[in-house]
Amino acid sequence: MLINENAGSGGDAMPYYFRKMGVGPLIGERTWGGLVRSDPMPVLIDGGIVTAPPVGIWSETGEWVAENKGIAPDMEVDQDPAAVRAGRDPQLERGVAYLLEELKKHPPAEYKRPAYSAYPSSAYPK
């Protein structure tokens, strides 16, 4: 999964659960670190709102999951501004390279389609 510093809230939760379930590596940069809920949101007289997160997410070990620290990648890849300006995406490139390496190590199984069943023509009404 590709992650970066702009991902917060669900962008913190999804990588956390992705890692927890052992789905695969996290590639990119540490997430934002704001996995909280912000409600109720009192409405101000000018239509604005005030947020003060009353809820955060913690793990079964009693530690905050992402708050103020984010989720660290397994493979750190800087999103180099010069490369991005040149039309490249270093994080995506590393993710694709990783997956191609994994496919070489663990190629997908090949399955042979069975022959079509032979039915007598009497099985079909005219």
Domain boundaries, the chain: 2-77
Tell me how far CA of residue 53 lies from CA of 10, 37, 61, 77, in angstroms.
Answer: 15, 5, 22, 31
Q: How many CA atoms lie within 13 A of 61 on its CB side?
A: 4
Phi, psi of 107 (to 5 degrees): -65, 150
The tally of CA atoms less than 13 A away on the side-chain side of residue 72 is 2
Compute how many other C-beta atoms are within 10 angstroms of the C-beta atom of residue 30.
19
Please list the pLDDT of the chain residue by residue as tens digits (126 residues): 999 988 878 888 999 999 999 999 999 999 998 877 776 778 899 999 887 777 778 889 998 888 888 999 999 999 999 999 999 999 999 999 999 999 999 999 999 999 888 877 766 666
pTM, entire model = 0.73
Position 123 scores a pLDDT of 65
CATH 3.90.226.10 fits 2-77, yes or no: yes
Q: What is the pLDDT of residue 126?
A: 66
